[in-house]
Amino acid sequence: MNDPKMIDYRSDTVTQPTPQMIEAMSKAPVGDDVYGEDPTIKELEQYAADLFGMENALFCPSGTMTNQIAIKAHTTPGKEVICHEWAHIYNYEGGGVAFNSGCQIRPIPSKDGKFKALDVEARIQSNTDVHAAPTALISVENTVNKAGGTVWKKDEIEPITRVGQIHNIPLHLDGARLFNALEATGETPADYGKLFNSISICLSKGLGAPVGSLLLGSDQFITKARRIRKVMGGGMRQAGIIAAGGLYALKNNINRLREDRENAIKIYEAVKESAICKSVEKPQTNIVLFETTDNKPLNAVLTEMEKYGIKASPMGNKIRMVTHLNHSHEDIVRTCDILRSL
């Protein structure tokens, strides 16, 4: 963190690479990836594809890009994408579904960011109705950021996969924090590779890499995605130097995500005891969302927290705190003491 006195919980995107990761990056062999000649990127893509039991993968600068490439690869203009009303692709990607793919969103509401197969079935638009935008894609987000890191389980997704198969509609996973979900449930990447036609995973959140996301799918899908990445300006040259950070993260930083969940629970317990808290739900992963009391406006609480050395971020009418690998034991203890005193 830039200010040693400030403990930053705004997001797990603010992480700094560890010395071991920096060393791996500094030693990475590189080549021109647009020509398919970067050995480190090729190793990262193959490693991730094998992890999920999928055929291929594509390294991209960001999770927004991997999501947007997937949507464009699965759809054609004038179609519709079903997702939750809180989905990242709907709320936080700059209108990219419309801008990049010429599609619209058919949102599903719920209180926890998840939905059921029946919800999807009820919103599928027919190809034969000239008034309707036909459904071209179903998208799931795991964990659900806007719901405070809500976790989907495999058996909740399987019925949705079957609905997609019955109607010949592909299923995409925005798995920006998927490894946080897998840590919480004990499920495996290979479980998810069987459920989705495409998967986006972020390397620069809880896994701690400085840059990058991966899009996974079939060989045919990734060939199409690679062309879309080029059109979007995402073709990179000697990018193995950053891919090495992602490869190190996948090999070394997955198991430690349990620590982030345990730290989030400690913060939740401190928030629950604080006079500033109106309501807070026990976190399922590494995100704590809480509502401030009526006499303590959100922005005033954020300012007060920062005065004591804690950075957090607003999310709607709540405050979000996200734990990550740069938080030491001392940071968590100090944070909990401060929160209880507010």
* Coil, strand or helix at 132: coil
How confident is the model over 37-82, as pLDDT tens digits?
A: 999 999 999 999 999 999 999 999 999 999 999 999 999 999 999 9
What is the reported pLDDT for 4? 52
Q: Is the pLDDT score of 2 beyond 50?
A: no
Q: Region 273-291: what's the mean pLDDT?
A: 96
How confident is the model over 12-40, as pLDDT tens digits?
A: 999 999 999 999 999 999 999 999 999 99
Question: DSSP secondary-structure letter at 202?
Answer: E
Exposed, middle or buried, 4 (CB in 10 Å: 0-12/13-18/19+)?
exposed
Q: Which of left, alpha, beta for 309 (phi over 0: left; psi -120 to 50: alpha)?
A: left
Higher-pLDDT residue of 1 and 165 is 165
Q: Region 293-320: what's the mean pLDDT?
A: 94
**What phi and psi values does residue 64 have, to the nearest 5 degrees?**
-60, -40
Angle value at C-alpha 276, between 273 and 279, nearest 5 degrees: 70
How confident is the model over 89-131, as pLDDT tens digits?
A: 999 999 999 999 999 999 999 999 999 999 999 999 998 999 9
Residue with tokens 């299923």: 171
- C-alpha 124/C-alpha 242 separation (Å) is 40
What is the reported pLDDT for 56? 98
Amino acid at 36: G
Q: Which of 174, 192, 173, 172 is nearest to 182 (CA)?
A: 192
Q: Region 192-211: what's the mean pLDDT?
A: 97
Q: Region 200-222: what's the mean pLDDT?
A: 97
Angle value at C-alpha 197, between 194 and 199, nearest 5 degrees: 85
Q: Region 313-321: what's the mean pLDDT?
A: 95
Helix axes 240-252, 39-52, angle to 10 degrees: 30
Residue with tokens 């203009």: 77
SS3 letters across 17-63: CCHHHHHHHHCCCCCCHHHCCCHHHHHHHHHHHHHHCCCEEEEECCH
Q: Is the pLDDT score of 3 beyond 70?
A: no
Angle value at C-alpha 333, between 275 and 2, nearest 5 degrees: 100
Please give the model's pTM, rounded to 2 decimal places. 0.95
What is the reported pLDDT for 1? 41
Q: Is the pLDDT score of 291 beyond 60?
A: yes
**What phi and psi values does residue 327 have, to the nearest 5 degrees?**
-90, 120
Q: Which of 281, 266, 269 is nearest to 333 (CA)?
A: 266
